[in-house]
A and B are shown apart, each in its own frame.
Chain A
Amino acid sequence: MKFKNNVLLAGALALAVALATPPVMAAETAGGKAAGPRIADFRLANGLALVVIPDHRAPVVTHMIWYKVGAADETPGKSGLAHFLEHLMFKGTAKHPAGQFSTVVARIGGQENAFTSSDYTGYYQRVPSEQLRTVMEFEADRMTGLVLTDAVVLPERDVILEERNQRLENNPRSRLGEQMDAALFLNHPYGKPIIGWRHEMEQLSRDDAIAFYKRFYGPNDAVLVIAGDIEPDAALKLAQDTYGKVKRVDGIASRQRPQEPPQVSPRSLTLADPRVEQPAVQRSYLVPSFATAKANKLSGQSEALEVLGHILGSGSNSRMYRGLVVDKHVAVSAGAYYDSSALDMAKFGFYASPGAGVTLPQLEAEADAVIAQVIDKGVTDEELERAKARMIADAIYAQDNQASMARWYGQALMTGATVDDVRQWPDRIRAVTALQVQDAARQWLDKKRSVTGYLIKDTTPRAEQPAGIQPVKAEKRS
């Protein structure tokens, strides 16, 4: 249950990489052992869910509205639409012309942004607490009041194309990730990039955006999370006064996506790019998320995978780093990760970059040996306890940051978890045994359910191309 990395932000005020890895976050400590915040949740008559996370240390609030719709809900042929709509949500409503909401947020000393993942779309403002009602009024208004014209839609389409250039085309590692996702998911739309395929993005229209908006946005499909300097009752009253007046939207499509067939064949691919100076090998396995484990009565498996991810790949005493970088000197960097928060299946991955004189197949074999060791011999009690201590402490560190808490709960509720699931997360991590970790590795780190990607330097001489043409080999684009 960690915050997802592959989420796109609308704003990109930070030029370098707007998507720096967010801090690791976790839920509050359960069972009253640490006096965490008193989290309250409500549901309004129109179906809107409300979660309030009081934190009175600073006179500010974080206000986030989350919609249960993401890139995986796009119609085939319209990739990038969920994210495009997220950008267009800043273009004004019948009541408030384009730019007014942002101007007011800036005037009151607030900050705002928005984000899109495969499973959800969210909008937030961070403002002085006495200004909460103002942003709630604006946000409630754009829940159903968006008005779009080509005059604002077309330049914004150019913006998302530049965003794709910035995130993907200018970055060989991101391009490899995109290809690997496409290969990992044989049938599920998680295989599409959230930002969209360029040729489809170029065709997205005003009508596409409005149709998507009407199909998915409404109070009964949304979760409001308010963290910071406010009490639950006061937040509820404000929510009733603002969002409470938005009518239910009937017929919001539920998130039923095409599911994966049994995966029976390991896949592998190579991305060659002339800019690669540091080759790499990566692998992604298709594994249960928290939500699918829960739905399929695979109790504890997602938590076991979280602990496994930590032991295998987090920090300099992890199996991957120690095995490949410190002990064998075959890699300059290595790690592994698992993100449990997905409505459908999740990914477990590892990566490594070879040292001098080491080939990618050699490095892959060494990484496979590290995994085989865990499958055969399991993990030590010391490793298990160290991982758990670190993960559970993160739950307390998270309380220091109201925005982290808001994102934490919002994301969980968007991906099939409940407030109680988040609350009980530290207890579930505590309960993971060494045997469960070994079983999870044995059951889920199966190459038949995986794709392996090599990133290499493209040394093919190429004809001079006009500027602006993608320097990519043709077969990689299809």
Chain B
Amino acid sequence: MMRLFTAALLPAFALLVTAPTASAVTIEKIVSPSGIEAWLVREQAVPLVTLNYSFHGGGSQDGAEKTGTANLAADLLDEGAGDLDGETFHKRLENHAIELSFQVGRDEFHGSLRSLNEHRVEAFDLLQLALTAPRFEAEAVERVRRQSIAGLQRDTTNPNSIASRRWWQTAFPGHPYGRETKGTLESLPTITADDLRDYVRRVFARNELTVSIVGDVDAKTAGELIDRAFAKLPAKNDLKPVADVKPEGLGRRIVVNLDVPQAVVTFGGQGLARNDPDFMAGYIVNHILGGGSFSSRLYKEVREKRGLAYGVSDSLVWFKRAAVVLGGTATRADRTGDALAIIEAETKRMADDGPTADELAAAKSYLKGAYALSLDTSSKIAAQLTQFQLDRLGIDYMQRRSAMIDAVTLNDAKRVAKRLFGGGMLVTVVGRPKGLVSSGGE
């Protein structure tokens, strides 16, 4: 669309492209009395506190036969802890509208807490109980296990789940990243309460703990609250090493037959590590190809011009031991081949020619301006702070980010486009796509 712009409109643009307002967020580094480091943003407008934290050691700590262990543990942390049974624990949370959530990623265990100021001490105490003394009582373990299995059973006929699972299994065979953190119908029945305790014992420790706190709270109080939750944890974790890995199967297409009216497609290839010097250029180039806005090339070609799909996009995804670029779409069965051909052609065109100068300028402008939108609630800010820390971006990253974007030249963008999109893709398709068959495999 940029190329269609008439000269008459350019003056309007000149006005529009102002430097984005500097974010109002000020980050302080604090250290709790027990020595736990955290990043704090003081925010006094709303009387609440938001905590975001992570422990290194997520689903990739699960043994090959016991996938889903970390996830099952996370689902059970609020089902009874210390001297509180599950019912009482939940009542304590609900009476004071305290929110605890636990999620398992491939590399990390993530948690968050949200509480009104008046109940924050209780909130952090309950979190401490959940992390240090979960009960894993038989009744709760079996109940939550049944729920997880029911979900996995549903997944067996869900085209999105199948496409995604097949992609990861094929890209990372034999590596923890190839396994689903939710586990499998085979693994879940074998997980014991001791497995869950073992996960908690090995992962929940202070040495690779990342903590971010946002709210109407001063540094001293924040440190005390952090100690309430985390000071009792063991000093050191006990993790299994995870090997570096690259996605395999690039150039392959796998078609899985499923009787659904719309075929679901997952596609992707080698990505960029977060600390790769080309990361920012890759991030921009990917935004132009298929990133999250109505102006990406894939969106225009697949949806807008041809009506082949409701959505199509891709993004950079990075882990500690691998990086991928991953995308997807869902498209009518009789034209899945067309949609896929367009995605492949656009990816190749980006690899060969890179973006235009106009596209690069527009993407930079978007990525700088839109940043503030990811920082307008306490929960979003806390989550960002944790990610900055995990990615080792530095406490001044927000101030440096715009300049890093501006520093990407058209030549950088072209070079990195080739690097990112020139290596071929692994594609999984689930449905009854007309005329499409698996190819490129053994």
Q: With an 8 A cutoff between CB atoms, is A250 at the interface? A: no
B434 close to A467 (CB less than 8 A): yes
Q: With an 8 A cutoff between CB atoms, is B328 at the interface? A: yes
Q: Which among A34, A128, A468 is the interface contact of B20 at CB below 8 angstroms?
A: A128
Query: Which segment of B192-200, B308-316, B391-399 sits at the interface?
Result: B308-316
Q: With an 8 A cutoff between CB atoms, is A47 at the interface? A: no
Q: Which among A111, A278, A316, A325 is the interface contact of B90 at CB below 8 angstroms?
A: A316
Max chain B C-beta neighbours (<10 A), residue from A18, A99, A402: A99
Count contacts on B: residues with CB < 8 A to the other chain: 94
Query: Which segment of A8-16, A202-210, A369-377 sits at the interface?
Result: A8-16
User: Nearest Cβ in chain B — how far from A351, in angstroms?
Assistant: 13
User: Nearest Cβ in chain A — how far from B315, in angstroms?
Assistant: 10
Max chain B C-beta neighbours (<10 A), residue from A162, A389, A394: A162
Q: With an 8 A cutoff between CB atoms, is A361 at the interface? A: no
B313 close to A13 (CB less than 8 A): yes
Query: Which segment of B102-110, B330-338, B348-356 sits at the interface?
Result: B330-338
Residue of A nearest to B157 (CB): A275
Q: Report the separation of the CA atoms of residues A154 and B304 in the bound assembly, to the nearest whole angstrom.
A: 10
Which chain A residues lie closer than 8 Å to B9 at the CB level? 100
Q: With an 8 A cutoff between CB atoms, is B172 at the interface? A: no
A277 close to B156 (CB less than 8 A): yes
A158-B308 contact given A317-B90, A333-B150, CB 8 Å threshold: yes
B262 close to A166 (CB less than 8 A): yes
Q: Report the separation of the CA atoms of residues A130 and B96 in the bound assembly, to the nearest whole angstrom.
A: 39
Q: Report the separation of the CA atoms of residues A329 and B305 in the bound assembly, to the nearest whole angstrom.
A: 52
Q: Report the separation of the CA atoms of residues A95 and B10 in the bound assembly, to the nearest whole angstrom.
A: 15
For B426-442 the 0/1 string (1 means CB < 8 A from A) is 00000111100000000
Which chain B residues lie closer than 8 Å to A11 at the CB level? 294, 311
Q: With an 8 A cutoff between CB atoms, is A355 at the interface? A: yes
Q: Report the separation of the CA atoms of residues A468 and B151 in the bound assembly, to the nearest whole angstrom.
A: 27
Q: With an 8 A cutoff between CB atoms, is B153 at the interface? A: yes
Q: With an 8 A cutoff between CB atoms, is A103 at the interface? A: yes
B370 close to A110 (CB less than 8 A): yes
Q: With an 8 A cutoff between CB atoms, is B146 at the interface? A: yes
Q: With an 8 A cutoff between CB atoms, is A104 at the interface? A: yes
Query: Which segment of A56-64, A178-186, A411-419, A432-440 sits at the interface?
Result: A56-64
A109 close to B376 (CB less than 8 A): no
Q: Which among B91, B156, B262, B295 is the interface contact of A165 at CB below 8 angstroms?
A: B262
Which chain B residues lie closer than 8 Å to A129 at the CB level? 21
Q: Report the separation of the CA atoms of residues A279 and B258 in the bound assembly, to the nearest whole angstrom.
A: 19
Q: Report the separation of the CA atoms of residues A12 and B330 in the bound assembly, to the nearest whole angstrom.
A: 11
A355 close to B294 (CB less than 8 A): no
Which chain B residues lie closer than 8 Å to A329 at the CB level? 143
A15 close to B150 (CB less than 8 A): no
Query: Which segment of B242-250, B278-286, B359-367 sits at the interface?
Result: B359-367
Instruction: Tally inter-chain residue pairs, CB-CB below 8 A.
Output: 252
Q: Report the separation of the CA atoms of residues A315 and B91 in the bound assembly, to the nearest whole angstrom.
A: 10
Q: With an 8 A cutoff between CB atoms, is B97 at the interface? A: yes
Q: Report the separation of the CA atoms of residues A128 and B260 in the bound assembly, to the nearest whole angstrom.
A: 42
Q: With an 8 A cutoff between CB atoms, is A399 at the interface? A: yes
For B259-278 the 0/1 string (1 means CB < 8 A from A) is 11110100000000000000
Q: With an 8 A cutoff between CB atoms, is A332 at the interface? A: yes
Q: With an 8 A cutoff between CB atoms, is B390 at the interface? A: no
Q: With an 8 A cutoff between CB atoms, is A470 at the interface? A: yes
Q: Which among B309, B313, B376 is the interface contact of A162 at CB below 8 angstroms?
A: B309
Q: Which residues of B approach A to under 8 Å, CB–CB?
A: 1-2, 4-5, 9, 12-13, 16-18, 20-25, 43, 45-48, 50, 79, 86-87, 90-91, 94-97, 114, 116, 139, 143, 146-147, 150-151, 153-154, 156-160, 258-262, 264, 292-295, 299, 303-313, 328-334, 362, 365-373, 375-379, 431-434
18 further contact pairs, Cβ within 8 A, besides A162-B331, A389-B94, A465-B259: A13-B292, A14-B313, A59-B21, A59-B24, A102-B294, A104-B16, A105-B294, A107-B362, A128-B20, A128-B372, A155-B306, A158-B306, A274-B259, A316-B79, A389-B95, A468-B332, A468-B432, A471-B260
Q: Can you list 26 A-B contacts with CB-CB less than 8 angstroms, sorted by A residue number?
A: A13-B299, A15-B160, A15-B312, A55-B45, A56-B45, A57-B376, A58-B372, A58-B375, A59-B372, A99-B4, A103-B5, A104-B16, A107-B369, A109-B368, A109-B369, A130-B21, A131-B16, A158-B332, A161-B307, A165-B262, A170-B260, A275-B258, A278-B151, A316-B86, A326-B143, A471-B260
Q: Which residues of A approach B to under 8 Å, CB–CB?
A: 11-16, 18, 34-35, 55-60, 90, 97, 99-100, 102-112, 126-131, 134, 154-163, 165-166, 169-170, 228, 274-278, 315-317, 322, 325-326, 329, 332-333, 353, 355-356, 385-386, 389-390, 392-394, 396-397, 399-403, 465, 467-471
**Top 10 nearest A-B pairs by Cβ distance?**
A109-B369, A158-B307, A393-B97, A467-B432, A155-B307, A12-B311, A165-B262, A275-B157, A58-B376, A59-B21
